[in-house]
Structure formats: structure tokens, C-alpha cells
Structure 1
Amino acid sequence: MDVEYRYPAELEEFLRLNRTAGQVQQLSHLNRLGAGDYLALHQSSEGDHVFPLQVVALLSEPGKDFHGGEFVLTEQRPRMQSRPMVLPLGLGDMAIISTAHKPFRGTKGFYRVNLKHAISRVHRGERVGVALSFHDAP
């Protein structure tokens, strides 16, 4: 993806680089969304040292514990409309997603596609999920 940065072989070394760069704010979090709540489109890419992947998991059961609250991803492609995708997660399901960008093969080679994620509005009940990031924010 034409990025000069290379990642250390061990996560602990990467986290040490985070701390040295002033990235000490934990990004991993548990989210509890009740009726009317949602998470707007966002990226978890704050700081100079950003790990390219993160894990999201659903800890409550769709259709039973809550209604609505779908996990949504968008691809923001250059000179094209954004493409939304809904990832249907069930109780205990996990997904590995891009933190901010992914490589995409175009007609003239690879380029970066900007990715964001969100959780749509919860209509009823409580949706509980977790997001695990492997880097910290400033």
C-alpha cells in the first residue's frame, strides 16, 4: 500500500513504540447501546503508529436481546460512490476488520480504499459488543 512503516515482529515492541510516541489512550472498549443509540461512521486510526486490523465481537443476541443495531462498513473509493455493507453478526460472532484502509486492485495496480465502520440505531433492547484495537491513541 506504498507505506514506508514496517511493523515489529512482536506486539509488545509495537506497544512500546506507541507509548514512546505518546499513544497511551486505550482504544479497545465495550459498548452498550440501548434503544435509540448508535455509533456513527468512524475509524480507529489516531496516532502515528496504527495497527491495520482490529477485532469486533457481538456479546448479545440479535432478535432476542435487541432489534436493529447492525454492524455497517463503508468503502470510500476514489472518484466513486461509497459502498455500504452490513455484516450480520450473531451472538458470540467476531470479525477482523481493517482499522482504516485496505488494498484494492484497480486497473492500474493497487491503491488504498478508505474504510469506516458504524453500528446502526438500536430500535429495542440493549446491544452489547466489544472492539479490540492493537494500538493506542494519543
Structure 2
Amino acid sequence: MTGDLFAPQPAAVSSPRLAAFDWRRIAADLDEYGCALVRGVLSPEECTQLAAGYSRLEQFRSRVIMQRYGFGKGEYQYFRYPLPDLVAELRSALYPHLAPIANRWYAAMGLEPRFPALHEDFIARCHAAGQTRPTPLLLQYGVGDFNCLHQDLYGEHVFPLQAAFLLSQPGQDFEGGEFVLTEQRPRMQSRVEVVPLRQGDCVIFPVFHRPVPGTRGTYRVNMRHGVSRLRGGHRHTLGIIFHDAD
């Protein structure tokens, strides 16, 4: 797929943390594999601080015990507004890099609407439609916990890409607990992608659909993600979803 997707948007180049990454490669990986691994976005100190914040209940709007709803085992909490500074920075600075890819994907799949260049404008659209609850979240897993394959859809307005940041150190803080992505192409068996995250790494992946070229044109491929069973220790993850919930 080609197009003007690699040009950085104005708000994106203002973030030194993200401007240094190879967004051409990230876009190409998303097209080819349905996900992109970005190494070392967060420092170990930032990861530790974010994970430690799980116990600060005042910064969250709700807590979900996954087993109660058949989502898996483990738990997560949704942040409330105003978001912590680092979470807000990541959300607003990632979005302008991803909006051109999202627009190109929607055009290829024949979907509407198109997405504005700035996250604040997209959030204004969500809020006007009654989607006002923030969706960034912290997830916590212990031994035996896992996250079933799912899609993070929270209302009519959905941004088609999201990001997850591993806050714990594999092999030191936990064992197992791999990030898993599956795609189901028409008339084919599911394909699985396991992403080897390290502490501070980010994986960018589709919320629900992505376009895949085929012999009869572009297919709309269904995507789901989850986390495999934790075999030891504790694992924390920061999830960045760009649309708000109704």
C-alpha cells in the first residue's frame, strides 16, 4: 500500500520521544503483519512508576475483574480524566503518527469516516456523540492469569489502531504472559502473531479490522488480541485506546 502516510503530522514532531522512531518501518509492519513493535519507548523508571500507580485508586474511574465477565483472569482499571501526564502525552503524541495510516486503511476497506490530524479533534467528535469516558487503562496479571482474545470497541466512533506498553521485565518480573494477535481472513484458518515485548516496548495493532490485499481485491480482515497464561510473577501493561467510551 502506498500513499502519504509517512509524512509526520505537526503535533507528532513536537514529541522527541516519538519523532526518533522509524515511522515508515512501523507503517510497513502494520501493513504486512498487522502489528508493529517499537522498542524502548518508555524508560525502566517510567515503567516502574506507571506500574506502581495501579494502587492509586483516585486516578481510576473503574476496576474490572476479568473472571467475573468471562474475559479471562486478572484485572484492569480505566483511568479517569484528567489522565496522568505521561499517559496523556503518549495518547496525544502517538495519534498524529497513526491517523494517516488509519485513513488509508479505512479508504482501502471502504469505511467511513476519516480521522482528523489531531487527537483533540477526534476526542471532540467522540464526546459530541456521547462517548465521554476515557479508555486508557492499566492491566495487572498474576500467576495463572490471562486475557481472552477480544476487541476494544466502546461505541460508534472507533479509532482502528491502539497501543500497549509492557511495564514489567520478562524473565525477571514474570514468566509467560505473551502478547498474542490473531487474524481471520475470509475462507482461511486464523493466523497467530506472538510479539516478543521487553520492558518499555510498545506494540501497535488494530482494534478490529485491517485491510489485506487478495486475489479478488482488498479483504477486511478481523483481528483480535489477548495475553497468554502467566506462568510466574506479576505483569503490568499500559493500554492506550484513542476513542473514548459511551
TM over 0.5: yes
Runs of 4+ in 1 over 2 A off after TM superposition: none
Question: How do 1:72-83 and structure 2 match up within 5 A?
Answer: 72-83=180-191
Identify which of 220, 223, 235 aligns with 1:112: 220
Aligned-pair distance for 1:9? 2.6
Kindly indicate whether residue 113 of structure 2 is the aligned counterpart of residue 5 of structure 1: yes
Q: Percent identity?
A: 51
Deviations 1:102-134 (A, max 9, x none): 110000111210111001111110011111011
Residue 87 (structure 1) aligns with:
195
Question: How do 1:11-90 and structure 2 match up within 5 A?
Answer: 11-90=119-198
Identify which of 178, 196, 206 aligns with 1:98: 206
Deviations 1:29-64 (A, max 9, x none): 011100011111111122111111111110111111
Larger radius of gyration: 2
Q: For the residues of structure 2 that align with 1:70 and 1:31, how far apart are their CA atoms?
A: 14
Identify which of 219, 238, 242 aligns with 1:130: 238
| Counterpart secondary structure, 2:124 | helix
Q: TM-score, normalised by structure 1?
A: 0.95
Structure 2 letter corresponding to 1:135: H
Greater helix proportion: 2
Q: For the residues of structure 1 that align with 2:191 and 2:133, how far apart are their CA atoms?
A: 31
Structure 1 letter corresponding to 2:238: V
| Counterpart secondary structure, 1:25 | coil
| Counterpart secondary structure, 2:125 | helix
Structure 1 letter corresponding to 2:204: I
Aligned-pair distance for 1:27? 1.9
Structure 1 letter corresponding to 2:139: N
Greater strand proportion: 1
**Unaligned stretches of 5+ residues in structure 1:** none
Over the residues paired in the alignment, what is the CA RMSD in angstroms? 1.0
Deviations 1:65-88 (A, max 9, x none): 001100000001111111111111
Aligned-pair distance for 1:137? 1.6
Q: For the residues of structure 1 that align with 2:180 and 2:166, how far apart are their CA atoms?
A: 13
Q: 1 or 2 for the larger relative contact order (CA 8 Å, sep ≥6)?
A: 1
| Counterpart secondary structure, 1:56 | strand
Q: Given that residues 185 and 219 in structure 2 are in contact (C-alpha distance below 8 angstroms), is that contact kept between their aligned partners in structure 1?
A: no
Q: TM-score, normalised by structure 2?
A: 0.54
Structure 2 letter corresponding to 1:43: Q
